[in-house]
Amino acid sequence: MALEPTLTINDTTTFSDAISFSVTDSLTAAAPAQALSLVNATATGAASIIVPASTAIAYLFVRHTGTTDGSTGTAQLVDVEFTTNEAVARLGAGEWLFMPIFHAGEDVGVQLQVAHASIVQCEYAYWTKG
């Protein structure tokens, strides 16, 4: 099964030379996978495990929706971390990441955790590298 991610970066205002580049790739995806889904991240990371424990590489997409429930806005930050509580990245409202996440072959998962006692609705999907 083929997965084609494309990243485009544009900036025409910061420098006198515009930034404009795009990169794409054709990836082979396999099971297990999770189609685009919503999760309400809280201050308890273990309650929002988005990639179950595995030793495999997973192509992971996560987006902070900027809301608590799809409509109520929030600026709370969300940590993307391994289920061993080791931090990978921190997302603000509206931000997203895409990466082949991997923890050196250790049998761990990925979870989302809000720094404060709050709820942040996030969108995510993952596909195991085939």
Q: Which residues bind another protein (CB under 8 A)?
A: 1-15, 19, 23, 25-27, 29, 33, 35-36, 57, 61, 63, 75, 82, 86-104, 125, 127, 129
Least Å from the CB of residue 72 to another protein: 18
**How far apart are alpha carbons 124 and 37 in whole angstroms?**
5
Cβ count near 89 (within 10 Å): 13
Q: Which is nearer to another protein, 86 or 107 (CB)?
A: 86
Burial of 128 (0-12, 13-18, 19+ CB in 10 A): middle
Least Å from the CB of residue 121 to another protein: 14
**How far apart are alpha carbons 73 and 127 in whole angstroms?**
29
Least Å from the CB of residue 49 to another protein: 17
Least Å from the CB of residue 88 to another protein: 5
Q: Which is nearer to another protein, 114 or 125 (CB)?
A: 125
**How far apart are alpha carbons 2 and 28 in whole angstroms?**
5
What is the token pair recorded at 50?
């988005």
Q: Which is nearer to another protein, 82 or 113 (CB)?
A: 82
